[in-house]
Amino acid sequence: MTAQETGLMLRGYGLTTAEFFYRMPDYRHVLNSFVWQDYDLAPDYPRLFRFIEFWQDQIEGPLHSVRFTHRKMISPGEWRNVVGEFTLH
């Protein structure tokens, strides 16, 4: 985990995982899936919806459905800065 990811989590971002089901451009009867992950803000999910708009504008395979989950890893009240470390043995 990088410092940038920790900073995002402290500002309220959580890990959003989305599974896109889309039709193959040449074989419309075949469904394929694509998994996407990014840190995003619930309940508006601006990054997820920006990616969906990008998909609809730039990718040839039309979307069938999108299934997603969001997990907030930490919140500002759960994190504390520890400045000492004790080593045993």
pLDDT tens digits for range 13-49: 999 999 999 999 899 899 999 999 999 999 999 999 9
Q: Is the confidence at residue 10, as pLDDT, over 90?
A: no
Task: Indicate whether 3 belongs to any domain.
Answer: no
Question: Per-residue confidence at 80, pLDDT binned at 50, 70, 90?
Answer: low
Amino acid at 66: V
Domain count, the chain: 1
Domain assignment present for residue 66? The answer is yes
Q: Is residue 9 part of a domain?
A: no
Q: Tell me the average pLDDT of the chain.
A: 87
Q: What is the DSSP letter of 8?
A: H
pLDDT band (50, 70, 90) for residue 79: low
pLDDT score at 78: 61
Mean pLDDT, rounded, for 71-83:
69
